[in-house]
A and B are shown apart, each in its own frame.
Chain A
Amino acid sequence: MRYIAVAIAIIAGLIVLIGYFVPALAGVQGILLNWAIILAGVAALVGVFNLISVHGDKIRRREKGNIYSAILLISLFASFIFGIALGPDNPNMRLLVSAVIVPVEATLMALLSVTLLYASVRLLRRRTDLMSVIFLLTAVFMLITSAILPFFGVSPLTDLILKIRQALPLGGARGILIGVALGTLTTSLRVIFGADRPYGGK
């Protein structure tokens, strides 16, 4: 059974990969990708059951913070019932969702800005090395130039600062992304060849 699963995964992976370069396989590739999308949809449903199971377990065992698990499950079932009754496109349903999710996520984003500021202040205490100093100096440079540049007109100095602000991050980001792309390539090849099997098996 294990070998059959590995064989199916390898064949499907190779067909999808080659389909990007050989037009004759594009049709089969499309079918496989559609199946994958359907499976991902089913996985979302199973994931919701996992969420119910984990938080139901917390409530049953009366673990710390189980009140939040209860609120989550009540909200989940209420959303489900209202969603079925009113339909996801109903204006009231949309309002209900956006009135909860948008403010909560915006609050977390605001908290994040404070968290990052606090983390930056503590960075040198946690890790005193050259890279940390460069990181902090760059962050300060970016913040200061973002704040003051709009008040200056076009001049050779502002042009130079703008060029530095664009060139350095772009060069660094491209270097990191090339490394990530190479890692992505070799990881994907390992999965396609069955050396890594994230779909289980001994």
Chain B
Amino acid sequence: MNLIGLGLIGFSAILLLALSLIKRKSPPKWRVIPALMRLSRAVDLSVEDGTRLFVSLGRASLLTSRGAAPLAGLGLLRHIAERTSLSDRPPVAVGGEASLALLAQDTLQAGYQSMGAGDLYQPVSGRLSGMTPFSAAAGAMPIIRDENVSASILVGDFGVEAALLADVAERQNAFLLGASTDIASQAALFASAQEPLIGEELFAASAYLDSGTSHSASLTVQDVLRWLIILALLAGVVLKIAGLI
């Protein structure tokens, strides 16, 4: 089992490196995810009308297997920071875990600096909203309600408490994109969020906002692996029916 895991990671790593280094002649074409198209528009609109963007990275510790979702959220936050660095109101990013709040501060600062607007960065833009799931949600709700937020983006690992944030956003008539790796949270967000993302769509958000080569390669690797898994499942079904396993 260890060898299969190592082989899968090795194959993915080689494929990712190869696809990142190959220069494509034409831009990559992906299926349309309407939620991400609307997110791009909401980000631009917030800069135009001088409102704030709110980003929540969830509550997963980076030391656990759920840590990839907030990492994807931080990638998205970087693009948002770059695109909104000259906005009248800087975006606010919160984490339900202390290390996430610190990384959010660092990511926002890096985004501002890369656009030559480092002096506009405000340290209080990256915040710790709470140390438990519900306290984190309770700490984030007043930000959506009171700080002139026009778009809220929940990208990370949440529980069902994400529905409380979706409810506040809806009451404020604010755009809300909800993406979580937790199954229960995805169900809650499907019912309550204006724009829910399901499953691996969360990890595609950065690529849709800014199609850098590594992000495009990452999506291609996911597609290749998905087809390999589908083939493996079908082979398993055939072998089972044939009585060979």
- Say yes or no: B5 contacts A65, CB within 8 Å: no
Question: Contact: B142 with A68, CB < 8 Å?
Answer: yes
Any A CB within 8 A of the CB of B107: yes
**Please, how many residues of chain A have a CB less than 8 angstroms from a CB on the other chain?**
66
Cross-chain contact B72 with A202 (CB below 8 angstroms): no
How many pairs of A and B residues are in contact by the CB < 8 Å rule?
A: 186
Contact B132 A190 (CB under 8 A): no
Q: How far is the CA of A53 from the CA of B191 in the complex (A)?
A: 35
- Rounded to whole Å, the gap between the CB of A102 and the closest CB of chain B is 11
- A39 contacts across to B, CB distance below 8 A: 99
B8, B68, B69, B106 — which one has the most chain A CB atoms within 10 A of its CB? B68
How distant is the Cα of A139 from the Cα of B184 in the complex, in angstroms?
13
Contact A198–B12 (Cβ < 8 Å):
no
Given known pairs A54-B124, A198-B107, A200-B110, the reply for A193 and B163 (CB within 8 Å) is no
A6 → B minimal CB distance (Å): 12
Main secondary structure of the interface of A (DSSP, over half): helix
Beta-carbon contact of A119 and B134 below 8 Å: no
The contact string, 1 if C-beta is below 8 Å from chain B, for chain A 105-135, is 1001101100110111001001000010001
Q: Do the beta carbons of A184 and B68 come within 8 Å of each other?
A: yes
Nearest chain A residue, comparing its CB with the CB of B186:
A176
Q: Complex formed: what's the CA distance from A64 to B164 in Å?
A: 20
Q: How far is the CA of A101 from the CA of B131 in the complex (A)?
A: 12
**Does any Cβ of A come within 8 Å of B44's Cβ?**
no
Which of B62, B72, B198 has the most CB atoms of chain A within a 10 A radius of its CB? B72
User: Known interface pairs A109-B134, A178-B229. Does A57 touch B200 (Cβ–Cβ under 8 Å)?
Assistant: no
Contact (Cβ within 8 A) A196 B214? yes
Hey, which chain A residues are within 8 Å of B124, CB to CB? 53-54, 57
B214-A112 in contact (CB<8A): no
The complex places the Cα of A120 from the Cα of B138 at a distance, in Å, of 21
